[in-house]
Structure 1
């Protein structure tokens, strides 16, 4: 029976050849090391043995009793932190929770968390405080407004240095968002033929923002929805902070001979603005996009997309206001 090969376990044995340490001499009387081979310091030897022990332990943990190797567990993926606006309407939290359940169904094992900008719990800073390591923050917001450019970076800046985060682009504009809008319109009764399409139109009712980038994103979504509807005109309208309002958009469509008008709800979840906009519909009003299957796919798309970006630490987030133009450009190209 041959002796097992152990030289690979102790690669520095050549530093202590047996000829230099006679068995009948104490260590203090042995010959000195040759000049070409200086003695290895004791602390280095201890470190070497520690590393060897750790490496052996790590390797043995992946070997079954019969000697066959086990598969290495995949590294944990960064947590997905979905950021909702928040609402006093209890239906908003239920809707967002249902959306995130769909996300979990599509990606079993992914750590999915929720944080709110305001009005609902948990608030985003509290969610971030409970995380360590890496995370991807996915805004459940529909454009590049104040919350995306300022509130989320501020929350990251105060999260502490225990967290390294990437911030995904907002959900809109994107073709998957348009699929959710279209699906909700169909559910509400949208069914046009060649006889009715000429007199039909859609108002895309959004919350509104003073940020021109947010308005540009909403206009882009309106254009994509018009294409999805076969060229039916879609006018964006806002519940606050911007114009036109929903009644103004309805009058503009009526002036063009469009009297069979639906209101598409450009909201992630129910709330006061969504309800007020729907109440003004002269024909049908679609429900908020909520937990539509396309929304869950879009959340994961934004998550995967963000993984290609450099993580942001708390220090980076502190500098975010100085980098706002670059952030705007990056989100616009997403």
Structure 2
């Protein structure tokens, strides 16, 4: 039903109130990090197909920051640039928090393409759709649902993320952990595969010290890869699969795209009057 509604809305959006055809929406460029693990590229390609199914009249492209083709610079260079000053592309980071890639790498890649007017959407997280995806991945892995508060006293979750030195990225991951804890009714401790502390192993020990003896690892990664595999290996009980191609991920990509399209144009900077 959600897919049908989205497709119908996509078709109606191309027609104005007087019956004339509107200009097509700006292309969506999904910006993935890139990985040497071939499962990551396969996952991203499948996710893009889900996005296209939900919004069939939207032009959707893929660009990687590194390690995989097409690279973001090549994807942006291949786009047509509108002559009327319209937005030429909306870049949606397939990233889960604020950090260097969102703040610097992606905007700089867009700015390097002459004549391209691009907008960079917010990263996917934190957002309730991610929390629901994390919850369902845990259930798929064997998380017990419908248990009483007393039965959950021995349960805990480690939210395993990639990690970043950017403090805003840490804030975003902690917020997701808080939302997941509210959803599950158990403590959720964020942990990181690199660049930040604690590690997954340290977070497991911290939960065990609090009397939590059934500890699951929730995989806060968009696709399989080295970090996701290493974090899952540290799980003393169950480890959930990465977010992957869950239907909520495609909806969230489009939500971030729509937010960026609807955002008002930034006001032009005023030139300082000469003394």
Assess same fold via TM > 0.5.
yes
In 1, Cα distance between the equivalents of 2:19 and 2:258? 25
1:219 aligns to 2:174 (yes or no): yes
**Structure 2 gap segments, 5+ residues each:** 1-17, 83-87, 270-275
The ranges of structure 1 where at least 4 consecutive aligned residues each deviate by more than 3 angstroms after the TM superposition are none
Aligned counterpart for 2:258 among listed residues 304, 315, 328: 304
State the TM-score, normalized to the length of structure 2.
0.85
Deviation at 1:166, TM superposition (A): 1.1
User: What does residue 136 of structure 2 align with?
Assistant: 183
User: What does residue 169 of structure 1 align with?
Assistant: 122
1:144 aligns to 2:98 (yes or no): yes
In 2, Cα distance between the equivalents of 1:257 and 1:280? 18
User: What does residue 58 of structure 1 align with?
Assistant: none
**Structure 1 gap segments, 5+ residues each:** 1-69, 320-334
User: What does residue 240 of structure 2 align with?
Assistant: 286
Aligned counterpart for 1:232 among listed residues 167, 186, 196: 186
Greater Cα radius of gyration, structure 1 or 2: 1
Q: Is the 8 A contact 1:166 1:309 kept in 2?
A: no
Deviation at 1:311, TM superposition (A): 5.9
User: What does residue 67 of structure 1 align with?
Assistant: none
State the TM-score, normalized to the length of structure 1.
0.71
Deviation at 1:109, TM superposition (A): 1.3
In 2, Cα distance between the equivalents of 1:245 and 1:78? 40
User: What does residue 116 of structure 1 align with?
Assistant: 64
CA RMSD of aligned residues (A): 1.6
User: Deviations for 1:166-223, whole angstroms, at most 9, x for unmatched residues?
Assistant: 1100000000111111111111111142253110000000000000000000000000
User: What does residue 222 of structure 2 align with?
Assistant: 268
In 2, Cα distance between the equivalents of 1:187 and 1:109? 33
In 2, Cα distance between the equivalents of 1:183 and 1:296? 15
Q: Between Structure 1 and Structure 2, how many residues are aligned? A: 243
In 1, Cα distance between the equivalents of 2:120 and 2:56? 22
